Amino acid sequence: MTTSYEGSQIMPDHSSDQYPVDATNKVKRRHDRGFYDHDTVHALLDSAALAHVAYVIDERPFCTPTLFWREGTRLYWHGSSASRMLRNLSKGEPACLTVTHFDSIVLARSGFNHSADYRSVMAFGTARLVTDLVEKDRALTMMVDRFFPDRTALLRPTTGQETKATAVIAMEIEKASAKIRARGVVDDEEDYELPIYAERLPIRTVIGTPEPCPRIIPGVERATTLESYREGRHLEEALLEAYQLAYS
């Protein structure tokens, strides 16, 4: 085995397609933590709603949080047409979209071995404004339905004005890498004998009690398609389940 998930439950599927690897996306530090197959990369993307996008304006880097989703090997995100990032990306700009699942903080017996468990993806490509109206309409639907399957059909229809005011960005993934640490406490062998406390502090992102809008008119019920999102559930599980429903 030249690769390992270091104890993670996720198993790499070596029959899956791979993203090409070069100097841009090759995991250099701790290369044993790097994966490039579509299945691993896509599963980490589809179990997230929040990404951070890096882009360059006047040679300076910007890092912007945004909701996003995947369709095949293409990523989508959105924002107002007024935003700085989108104005700049309209002609097509290199971007890097990163998703991080933060799984634990690791307290070891030395400062050096303190660490964290995480699963992250960096995806590289050229971001462009979606100008084709058919692609844009579809994207505006999936922007909602990817998270809440079939919800758009229940909503007040989007107006032309709203469509105009929403910019949709698309980025074909040219290269991508996943990086996974799932090892908990790992100390130097001789340090285990020392009288020092060590632990893995697990972290999880969960759904709270759904808060219905107080102005819902009587008799209107929560759709059964929202059942993925229930109190106490890991957000990533609900997001992945909804994604699979939406694109099944």
> Residues 49 to 78: which contact a second copy by CB under 8 A?
49-50, 52-56, 59-65, 67
The closest of 51, 134, 126 to 88, measured between CA atoms, is 126
Specify the residue, 16 or 137, whose C-beta has the smaller distance to a second copy.
Answer: 137
Binding to a second copy by residue 225, rule CB under 8 A?
no
Only one of the segments 2-10, 11-19, 128-136, 219-227 lies at the binding site for a second copy (rule: CB under 8 A); that segment is 219-227
Specify the residue, 15 or 218, whose C-beta has the smaller distance to a second copy.
Answer: 218
The closest of 120, 117, 97 to 47, measured between CA atoms, is 120
Specify the residue, 1 or 193, whose C-beta has the smaller distance to a second copy.
Answer: 193
How far apart CA 117 and CA 105 sit, in angstroms, is 6
Binding to a second copy by residue 140, rule CB under 8 A?
yes
> CA angle, 167 as apex, 153 and 69 as ends, to 5°?
60
With contacts defined by CB under 8 A, how many residues of the chain interact with a second copy?
97
CA 242 to chain centre: 14
Residue 208 phi/psi, 5° resolution? -90, -165
* 114, 121 Cβ separation under 8 angstroms: no
- In DSSP terms, 122 is beta-bridged to 98, 177
We find the least distance from the C-beta atom of residue 58 to a second copy, in angstroms, to be 9
CA 82 to chain centre: 24
3-class SS of residue 192: helix
Among 18, 152, 241, 247, binds a second copy (CB under 8 A): 152
Binding to a second copy by residue 181, rule CB under 8 A?
no
Binding to a second copy by residue 171, rule CB under 8 A?
no
Specify the residue, 16 or 151, whose C-beta has the smaller distance to a second copy.
Answer: 151
We find the least distance from the C-beta atom of residue 37 to a second copy, in angstroms, to be 20
Specify the residue, 97 or 246, whose C-beta has the smaller distance to a second copy.
Answer: 97
Among 2, 11, 14, 28, binds a second copy (CB under 8 A): 28
Binding to a second copy by residue 210, rule CB under 8 A?
yes
* 215, 137 Cβ separation under 8 angstroms: no
